[in-house]
Structure 1
């Protein structure tokens, strides 16, 4: 890096193996059961991906099972009357009818251009009608374990909150690619999307869902859970969440700080015996202690606060 180049404002944890293992272990121990997660049939996975583009996953299950029962492979789908396929889409409220048309055409391509065999790489899969980069990568990952890192809205939210990755598509892709372990796109992409779907939703459920990244997560440390798809919370200014973040940020700069020194650094109106004084600061530190983020040495005189290592 040259003298004129600024250091990036975000960075992934140094111990990435621990980050990866924590997420995969969390996912494999317990995750939502969807039937398409129990198959590596690319046709079944493609159908699930197209259906879920505009429909909640819980509602997709019944439609997906009925669709595959009626047209169990690309052979049957390609031979079907397109009006029947579109009618099915409409009857099951699956969103834009052109997705049904494209799926029907893609089945025809598989049969006529690929002799009934699915292409396996994301680039090749994009040659299918209506299959864009995201869907192609998902099918490559979940059917062939041959995909790149998936970057959808949920994944962006996770990366933004956990590692302060800025709201920029290419940066999100770089960060997601750096995190994904080699040759494990199937489990990894399922796991990180599950994390965004059940633990790091717009309203986070970090502790309730047992988020495996809490020890590395910037949002969990600061209490600021805004994200690209989550509006800034107007109540944050002056809130305990804001001052929790200031305490963590200040202690990151120093090995340790005496109580009053810390207080003066986190708010300009700090007064040891005032409304926002030692009692207020001790309450804030007690919350952070309970979360395992800070330790307060009460035996020192005066008391000293430090980050928990």
Structure 2
């Protein structure tokens, strides 16, 4: 067990994450291929390389050398030339993969072993790659921790920031879905790849952790690989834009606006009505919105004005909110 407290039951977080992943995620060919050799190839190719850049090289590689035996029988220069031609970086990876294929043929009868210790005996296969192959190819209940996963945990859990050496492995082991390890590992890595990016897209990607996330609540999106605060996400300007975008369809009750712009909004909590009133005060002072009574209820609306300047300002800020990105 780790020493970091979870903001809610890990079972709830796990279920929310898997539901988010099942509802829609990026499609990559290796996610549909449980062949251990193909998984190893994808892991070696994707080291320090964006996933969408290796899709075509991956397909060509496994089509040309579909088994460890096929690659082991190939001339090493051909393998290195393929690597170079496809700009896959670090030609040592191609040489190591060629040597690993020969080891699989000679020591494991042509089939990749399923356990991490045996996988790590292969040339160029370290603890991370061995764990990834065990999880994705053999559905072993092991957690794969990369930079994306560390960023998610650092932002989600306040207590992680108190550690010089955060217990990422232990935390992910606690969160892991033992009955769906491959899906879970893909899901948490996908979350870091599309939602909890260095400049996060919490709302646009519908991050399932928002209502429990320390970074989302505080606006502090720093992380080990993001040492300085992203300029826009979590900023006051971002929330101003969300309010205007929310009101574009018509007036709304005050608390309805709060819930629309922050999933963790609680009228009596933090962020709550006091935080929202401050935001609305700013917008009202700038002539962009107005608050009024309607059927005995306090509502917020975009300000009606014949002033070209005010109309132009409101339109510009709403456009920025729709973009929902940095200046």
- TM-score by length of structure 1 reads 0.75
Q: CA deviation at 1:240?
A: 4.4
2:5 to 5, 8, 11: 11
Q: Aligned pair in 2 of structure 1 residues 65, 304: CA closer, same or farther (>3 Å)? A: closer
Pair 1:230 & 2:226 matched = yes
Unaligned runs of 5+ in 2: 238-253, 276-327
Q: Aligned pair in 2 of structure 1 residues 210, 36: CA closer, same or farther (>3 Å)? A: same
Q: CA deviation at 1:134?
A: 0.5
> Counterparts of 2:81 and 2:260 in 1: how far apart (Å)?
58
Structure 2 matches for 1:132-151, cutoff 5 A? Answer: 132-151=126-145
Pair 1:217 & 2:217 matched = no
Tell me the alpha carbon deviations over residues 72-95 of structure 1, each in whole angstroms, 9 at most, x when there is no partner. Answer: 111110100111101111111111
> Counterparts of 1:235 and 1:21 in 2: how far apart (Å)?
32
Structure 2 matches for 1:62-73, cutoff 5 A? Answer: 62-73=56-67
Pair 1:196 & 2:167 matched = no
Q: CA deviation at 1:223?
A: 1.0
Structure 2 matches for 1:1-309, cutoff 5 A? Answer: 10-164=4-158, 165-166=160-161, 168-169=164-165, 171-233=167-229, 240=236, 290-296=261-267
Tell me the alpha carbon deviations over residues 85-127 of structure 1, each in whole angstroms, 9 at most, x when there is no partner. Answer: 0111111111111100110011111111011121101122111
* Kept after mapping to 2: 8 A contact 1:157/1:196: yes
Q: Secondary structure at the match of 2:197?
A: coil
Q: Aligned pair in 2 of structure 1 residues 191, 235: CA closer, same or farther (>3 Å)? A: closer
> Counterparts of 1:80 and 1:235 in 2: how far apart (Å)?
50
Q: Aligned pair in 2 of structure 1 residues 295, 45: CA closer, same or farther (>3 Å)? A: closer
Unaligned runs of 5+ in 1: 1-6, 242-282, 298-302
Question: How many residues get paired?
Answer: 254
> Counterparts of 2:39 and 2:79 in 1: how far apart (Å)?
17
Tell me the alpha carbon deviations over residues 151-180 of structure 1, each in whole angstroms, 9 at most, x when there is no partner. Answer: 110000000001122365561111111111
Q: CA RMSD in A?
A: 3.0
